[in-house]
Amino acid sequence: MRTPIIAGNWKMNKNVSEALELVKELKAIERNKKVETVLCVPFTNLWQVKSEIEGTDIKLGAQNMHWEESGAYTGEVSPLMLKEIGVDYVILGHSERRQYFNEIDETVNKKVKTALEKGIYPIICVGETLEEREVNKEKEVVERQVLKALEGIDTSDIEKIVIAYEPIWAIGTGRTASSSEANDMIKFIRETVEGKFGKVSNDMRIQYGGSVKPNNVSEIMAESDIDGALVGGASLKAEDFAKLINY
Ligand code: PGA
């Protein structure tokens, strides 16, 4: 049985006091304990959010990291720095990083390897653009992203990895993939992983992301292969985010 995982991706939102307010509100709401709840917050909030979630089952995530432990990489944050704070998860290869910050499959792969080595669970984002979907290339693109990200990974590590399928045309647009379209791609991702690593693919959790909201979450989570959601906009309000966790 795969434990459902709902992760909030705050992106570049919330200063420290706003972050703490949100977490306090979230803690006050009754949440489904069968769902793993993750908050992927800006670097500047990690430390304080970590102390605020102490003693709860809420997990902490970062939104990116470098693959080296330390060095001359101005502006970057190392996996050891995240580890010191007690970060559990790290989002890698988000489409906004691919689009605006030159993230490519090769760097995603390096980061995935380092994250696993340091004991941080990667949430690897994959997904096609609208143009790619319009010419029926979505599976080809996603297959490439998945296989590249997982290149050289040990089979025994596959179950520690979360993949988030996020069609780029559905992110922040209010337009979601239909739940069956999402499920279809997520099945395909699992088959792709199985083709390379075998049946451990059944232990790997695959989320859907892209305009997941309180009004569509139950339909999405009812699909056979969707194990959770990576959520941007709707994770910025405690009440909405709790509704997603309580789908
Ligand atoms: P959204 O973002 O829920 O605002 O569409 C999802 C994401 O980018 O992870």
Distance 182 CA to ligand 1 centre (A): 14
* Coil/strand/helix, residue 86: coil
pLDDT in tens, 213-234: 999 999 999 999 999 999 999 9
Task: Please say if the pLDDT value at position 24 is more than 90.
Answer: yes
- Cβ of 172 closer than 6 Å to ligand 1, yes or no, is yes
119-129 mean pLDDT: 97
- Cβ of 212 closer than 6 Å to ligand 1, yes or no, is yes
Whole-number pLDDT of residue 172: 81
Whole-number pLDDT of residue 226: 98
Burial track 204-226 (b if 16+ CB lie within 10 A, e otherwise)? bbbbbbbbbbbebbeebbebebb
38, 30, 43: which is closest to 79 by C-alpha? Answer: 43
Q: Whose CA is nearest to atom 1 of ligand 1?
A: 232
Whole-number pLDDT of residue 175: 78
C-alpha to C-alpha distances, 181 to 138, 170, 245, nearest whole angstrom: 11, 12, 22
Whole-number pLDDT of residue 224: 94
pLDDT in tens, 139-196: 999 999 999 999 999 999 999 999 999 999 888 887 778 999 999 999 999 999 999 9
List the structure tokens of 78.
Answer: 């190392």
pLDDT band at 71 (very low <50, low <70, confident <90, very high): very high
- Cβ of 127 closer than 6 Å to ligand 1, yes or no, is no
Residue ranges in the chain assigned as alpha helix (H): 16-28, 43-53, 79-85, 95-100, 105-118, 130-134, 138-149, 179-197, 217-221, 238-245
77, 69, 72: which is closest to 61 by C-alpha? Answer: 77
91-106 mean pLDDT: 97
pTM value is 0.97
Across the chain, what does the average pLDDT equal? 97
Tell me the percentage of the chain whose pLDDT exceeds 70.
100
- Using the atom order of ligand 1, give the atom closest to the CA of residue 211: 5
Q: Which residues are catalytic?
A: 94, 166
Distance 171 CA to ligand 1 centre (A): 5
- Cβ of 4 closer than 6 Å to ligand 1, yes or no, is no
Distance 185 CA to ligand 1 centre (A): 17
Contact 241, 235 (CB under 8 A): yes
Report d(CA 23, CA 20) in Å as an integer.
5
Distance 30 CA to ligand 1 centre (A): 24
Report d(CA 233, CA 211) in Å as an integer.
7
Task: Please say if the pLDDT value at position 244 is more than 90.
Answer: yes
Contact 20, 48 (CB under 8 A): yes
Whole-number pLDDT of residue 228: 98
- Across-strand partners of 38? 7, 59
